[in-house]
Amino acid sequence: MKRIKDIESSIDHHFNLIKQTLINDHKEYFERERKRKKKADIQGSLSQQLQDKMNEKNFLDKQIEDFDDINIFTYEIRMQKLIQHYDSLILADKARKENRNGVQEICRMTGSLT
């Protein structure tokens, strides 16, 4: 049981490190959607734009609350989010302009102490 608690504690710690990144990803998505609507000239009326902003704010507030609720974001879901985040970091590292050979310099966490 102690080992399970240690693993859960480790997952919580690492998940807390990427919470803000996940929120920023949502914010960037909303911004891209606003720009896409503006470019396509389908922004809607001023009241519709205001309602969209309120919906975005409510979504982000709910998402922040959900991050802390273990019943919604279980350890399995948190671990999946961590793996997705690490995968995207590895892909971004390989795609860097300075990394012409596509060498992976960021490594996934493992159980080894080396």
pLDDT tens digits in sequence order for the chain, 114 residues long = 999 999 999 999 999 999 999 999 999 999 999 999 989 988 888 899 899 999 999 999 999 999 999 999 999 999 999 999 988 887 877 777 677 777 767 666 655 443
Tens of pLDDT, residue by residue over 79-103, are 999 999 988 887 877 777 677 777 7
Asked if residues 109 and 86 have their Cβ atoms less than 8 Å apart, the reply is yes
Per-residue pLDDT at 1: 92
Question: How far apart (Å, rounded) are the C-alpha atoms in residues 65 and 62?
Answer: 5
Q: What number of other Cβ atoms are within 10 A of residue 43's Cβ?
A: 14
Question: How far apart (Å, rounded) are the C-alpha atoms in residues 84 and 34?
Answer: 25
Q: Which residue has the tokens 């795609």?
A: 95
Q: Which helix (H) or strand (E) holds 35?
A: helix 2-39
